[in-house]
Structures are given as C-alpha cells and as structure tokens.
Amino acid sequence: MTSLEITKQAAKFLDSKKGIDIKALQIRELSTLGDYFVLASASSVIQAKALSDAVEEGFSALGIEPRRVEGYQTGMWIVLDYYDVIIHIFSGQNRDFYGLERLWADAPQVPLELEKAE
C-alpha cells in the first residue's frame, strides 16, 4: 500500500469506531517525519484506546505493523507510527491543547471519503 492508501484506510478504521473530526494532513513537503498525519479525537480514554485498537487490528489483518505505538497506557494522546503515516488519537481536550492543526497549518488537508453519521 502507498502512504496515501494507508492514510485513507486509517481514516476509515477510525471512522468505523466513531472517531471524531478525522483529518489527514500531507506533511511530505514540510517535514522529514513522514508523508501524512492522520488526526482524530475521542470522547474518552476508553474510546481513544478502541480507536487505536481498530487501527492496529485492521492494519495487522493487512500485514502492516506499526514501527512504534506511544501513549496507549494513558490514552490521552496515542501515536501510531506507520513509517510514512503517523496517526494521532486524542481524548478529551488534548487535541485543542496540543494544537497540531495550528502547528501544521501550512500542510494541505487530504480529502477523505468517510461515512457520514446521520
């Protein structure tokens, strides 16, 4: 899978567990960290862990394993590093506090085809 395909699939995994405000940013031209960030919020620590589990299990079924996972124990800000795609899952107000969207304001947003909750 390409990094863009991984990005879009990660967003779908997050959406399947009702991740909130899922966004993807293309950081390729701005950083050597990777190609894309995927951001999602959770209403609680339990949901943040469920989102993380959904991503890991979904990619594992596709034969893709993360290089590293950080923050799972506390569940406040979970980072899943899939090499060129870095997934950030925030619980509570942590997303606003850390402000990754403000820090990476120059990064183009990637269009995502997600199911719209009704």
Q: What is the pLDDT of residues 40-72, one digit of tens each?
A: 999 999 999 999 999 999 999 999 999 999 999
Q: Taking residues 23-47, what's their average pLDDT? A: 95
Structural domain contains residue 109: no
Domain that residue 58 falls in: 3-103
Structural domain contains residue 43: yes
Number of domains in the chain: 1
Structural domain contains residue 11: yes
Structural domain contains residue 25: yes
For 72-113, the pLDDT digits (tens) are 999 999 999 999 999 999 998 999 999 999 999 999 999 998
For 2, half-sphere exposure in the C-beta direction (CA atoms, 13 angstrom radius) is 3
pTM as predicted: 0.93
d(CA 26, CA 31): 10
Structural domain contains residue 13: yes
- pLDDT higher than 50, residue 118: no
Query: What integer pLDDT is reported at residue 114 of this predicted model?
Result: 82
